[in-house]
Structures are given as structure tokens and as C-alpha cells.
Structure 1
Amino acid sequence: MRTPIIAGNWKMNKTVSEARELVSEMIPFLKDVQGVTTVLCPPASALLPIAAMLEGTDIGLGAQNMHWEANGAYTGELAPAMVSEFGQYVILGHSERREYFGETDETVNKKVHAAQANGLIPIVCVGETLEENEANQTSAIVSRQIQAGLAGVKSDLVIAYEPIWAIGTGRAATSEMANATIKIIREVLADIFGNEVAQGIRILYGGSVKGSNAAEYFAQSDIDGALIGGAALKADDFVKIVYVSRAEVMKGNS
């Protein structure tokens, strides 16, 4: 059984003092949670102080982005080793990075290679726009993103399916819709890595997931957790999502 992951993408939110306050509210409830992998992805400015707070807990830490080069004249960027020094995960290829910062499947692929070479677990994001969804192009878009973004990489990674039209809009794909697309993603992963390996790769759903609707997603056969945006900025909401995920795990084990 795949261990679900609940990852919180804070995006460009929280100063260091605000980040410390948020994490201090979460730690008592999340530090010893079993059966679910919990990951916090604060902005770069808060990575080091939050890493110190998470020492001795079972909570993982991730960056929201990184460059593929080891070092050099790349003003404003984080090198892979700068992340792996105190983090275990890195979000790559988020739709906002693709839309606002010109990331492509090819640059995502370079970053995945660099992340794995530095011992990081990449959380690779894929997803279609509303126009592509309405034109029935979802399967083609996510298949292309997976095939190009994962060319030549190892299977030690996580995929996050985030339909762009559901990110921060309050609109969410139904659990059945999300699961159907994630099944397609797993089929593409099987073509790349083989079916047995693909069955072990965790695929998350992201897009307006909150405590009130999390259970319906986690009850689906191929959804292995969530990449959380807005709800990750509120301790009680994020903790509730983690516990809902854990409840589904316990239900599946009973």
C-alpha cells in the first residue's frame, strides 16, 4: 500500500516570524503522525529556521523550486545542494512557475535530474488549463508533461496532478475526475518505468483541497494524498487534512 503524502505549498506567503508561528501550531499535532508523510514547503527565506523547528519530528521539509545548475551566476536562484542541506523534497514544474517564469517540460526535466542527483525527492507537477480540459485534451497534456519531464530520470519521485483551472479558484475537479486522470498518469508512468514500479509511485491531487472535501479524494483508488495550497496556510485546516488522510489509511488497513 502506498503511503500517502500531504504536502503544503505555502507559495509566496509568510514572513519568517509568521512561518514560525504557523509551524509551532502544527507541530504538536503532526510530529508523531504515523501512516502519512507530511511535508511543509515554505518560501526560501523560511527554509532554514523551519528546518531547525522540525528537527526530531517526522515532518518533512521541501523547497518550492530550485535551479538545475550546481552553482554559478544565477541571481535569485537556489542550487540543489542549498536545498538538500536541510530539506528532503522540492516542488518542480508548478503551473505558476510554468506560466509566470517560462518553465518548460525540458527545464523541469533538468531540475528533476539535478534534484535526484542531490538526494532530493522531486514533487513534479502536471496539469491542464481550463481551455485544454474543455477541449478534451487533458490526457494528451499530462501525458506529454510526464514523458518529457521525466525523460531519463529515476522513479524516486512524487507526481502532483494539479488541474490549473482548479488552483486557487475554489473550483475543484470531482474526486472521480481527478482519479480518472491520475489513472492515466499512472499508465504513462508504467510505460516509462514498468507497471510494478509505477504502482509504487505516489500521485497527489492538488486544486482547492480542504478539510471539508479531502475525504472524497483520499477514498479514491489512485489518489495518494494532496499538494495543498491555501489550506496549508491555516494550521487547523492543514492538520485536519492530514488526519483525514490518516483515517483513510486506517480504514484501508482494517
Structure 2
Amino acid sequence: MRMPLIAGNWKMNGSLTLIEQFGEAFAAAELSSSVEVALLPPFPYLPAAQAALGATPVVLGAQTLNPAHSGAHTGEVSGRMLKEFGVEYALVGHSERRQLYREADEAVYDRLLAALSADIRPILCVGETLEERDAGRTRDVVLRQVGHVMARLDPQQRTRVTIAYEPVWAIGSGRTATPEQAQEVLAAIREYQAGFDRELAAGLRLLYGGSMNAGNAAELLSQPDIDGGLVGGASLKVDDFIAICQSAG
């Protein structure tokens, strides 16, 4: 059975005060042990988050990482460095990284390999733009992004990957894919993976990202192929994020 994962991506937001509030709230929250929760704050807040959340079931994640382990990469952070702060997950291929920082499929693949090498579980983000959806290309775009990475991994590596479907047109827009739209795409991803290994596909954890909030989480998470959420704006609100986590349990 796939354990739901709720991952909160703070993007370039947050503060030390908010970290403290989250630590206190999650220490007191009633969460199901059958749901995994990850918080992905900006890099500078990882030490504070490690301390504040240490007594809670929340694990830490990173929003990106450099493909190299070390070297002349000014301003970058490696997977080995992240691991020293207890990071368990790392996003690769988030649409903002693809669009704003021109990370192409090959760069996403390199980062995913770097995460695996550092014993960090990658969350591979895939999704289509509004133009691509309107052109009827959603399935082609998403499966191309998935295939560029997953088709090149060995079976053991694939078991470490979580895939998050985040329609670009729904991120931060307040618009959300309907549960049926999200389910259709995630079912196609699982079907694609079944071409490699049906048992692996059955256990592959698939998330939905794109304006998931406390009001729509339960309905989205009720879909058979949605195993959790990659939460953006709502993950900055303590009560809302806890409510989403409880919806998954």
C-alpha cells in the first residue's frame, strides 16, 4: 500500500519565526502515522527547521540541488551538503526551475541522479502549460518529461522516485485541475511505468501539485492515483497545512 506524502514547498518565502511556529504546531498536532509529511523551506532555514521539527514526524526536503557534489559552483548547494542537515527529499524539475532558470530535461535528470547519489529521495515534477493543454498535448508533454528520466534509471533507482504532477497553469494561480483531470494524468503516468514493471508501477507514489489547499485536498486525495500533494502557498499557513496533512490520513 502506498503511504501518502504531503510535501510543503515554501519556495522563496518564510522566516525564522514561521519555522518556530511550525515546530510548535506540529509538535502538538494529531497526525496519522500512515501519512508522511515533508517541509521544504529555503536553504538558509534548513538548520533552524532541523532543530524546530526534530521532535515531530515532519522530515525535511530541499527545493533543488546542484548535479555536482562539490567544486567551483558559486551560489549552489550539493546533495551531500543537504544530507548533513537531515534532508530526505529534493524537488527536481519544478516548473519554476524549468521556466525561470532554463533547466531542460537533461539538467533535471542530472539533478535527480545527484539526489539519488546523496541518498536523498527525488520528487520529479512534471506538467504542461496552459497552451500545451489547450492544444491537447498534456499527455505527450508529461510522459516525455517522465520518460526522459525514468526510462534511463535502473529498477532500484526507480523505486526511490516520487513523481509530482503540477499543471503549470494551476501553480500559484488559484486555479486547480479538477480531481478528474489530475487523476487522468496520474493514471497515464502509472500506466507508462507499468511498461517497465507492473509491480513497481503499482507502488509508485504520485502527487498532485497546483493550488492544493485545505478546501480541495480531501476531494483530490480521494482519487485512486493521487497519493499525496506538493503544496505551495497553503504550506505557509500552519493551520491549513496541518489540515491538508490530516485530509491525507
Amino acid at match of 1:37: E
Task: Summarize the Cα distance change of 1:37–1:93 in structure 2 as closer, same or farther, 3 Å threshold.
Answer: same
User: Do 1:22 and 1:233's aligned partners in 2 also have CA atoms closer than 8 Å?
Assistant: no
Q: Which residue of the partner structure matches residue 237 of structure 1?
A: 240
**In the alignment, is residue 46 of structure 1 matched against residue 45 of structure 2?**
yes
Match of 1:250 in 2: none
Which shows bigger deviation, 48-57 or 85-94?
48-57
SS at match of 1:220: coil
Q: 1:199: Cα distance to partner?
A: 0.9
**Structure 1 letter corresponding to 2:36:** T
Partner amino acid for 2:65?
M
Deviation of 1:19 after TM superposition, in Å, equals 2.3
Aligned AA for 1:185?
I
- For residues 24 and 63 of structure 2, the distance between their equivalents in structure 1, rounded to whole angstroms, comes to 20
- More deviation in 144-153 or 128-137? 144-153
User: When the two structures are superposed, what TM-score results if normalisation uses the length of structure 2?
Assistant: 0.94
Q: What is the root-mean-square deviation of aligned Cα atoms in Å?
A: 1.2
Aligned partner of residue 199 in structure 1, secondary structure: helix
**Unpaired segments of 5 or more residues in structure 2?**
none
- Counterpart secondary structure, 1:51: helix
Residue deviations 1:20-57 (CA, integer Å, cap 9, x gap): 23332333216x63110000000001011111222243
* Deviations 1:82-141 (CA, angstroms, capped at 9, x unpaired): 111221111111000000001011011111111111110001100000000011100000
Cα gap change, 1:187 to 1:127, in 2 (>3 Å): same
| 1:66-85, Cα deviation, whole Å (9 max, x unpaired) | 00101011111111101112
CA contact (8 A) 1:127 1:163 kept: yes
TM-score normalised by length of structure 1: 0.93
Tell me the residue number matched to 2:59.
60
The answer to whether the 8 A contact 1:16-1:45 is kept is no
For 2:237 and 2:194, locate their aligned partners in 1 and report how far apart those are by CA, in whole Å: 36
Is 1:179 the equivalent of 2:183? yes
* Rounded Cα–Cα distance in structure 1 between residues aligned with 2:235 and 2:172: 12
**How many residues get paired?**
244
Residue 150 of structure 1 pairs with residue 150 of structure 2 = yes
Output one character per residue of 1:146-196: Cα deviation in whole Å (capped at 9) or x when no partner. 01123433111110000000000010110011000000111222224x111
Q: Partner of 1:15 in structure 2? A: 15
Checking the alignment, whether the CA contact within 8 Å between 1:109 and 1:151 is kept in structure 2 is: no
Provide the residue aligned with 2:80 in structure 1. 81
Residue of structure 2 in register with 1:225 after alignment: 228
Between the aligned residues of both structures, percent identity stands at 43
- Report runs of 4+ in structure 1 exceeding 4 Å deviation: none
Q: For residue 180 of structure 2, give the secondary structure of its aligned residue in structure 1.
A: helix
Q: Which amino acid aligns with 2:37?
A: T
Q: Secondary structure at the match of 1:6?
A: strand
The one-letter code matched in structure 1 to 2:74 is: T
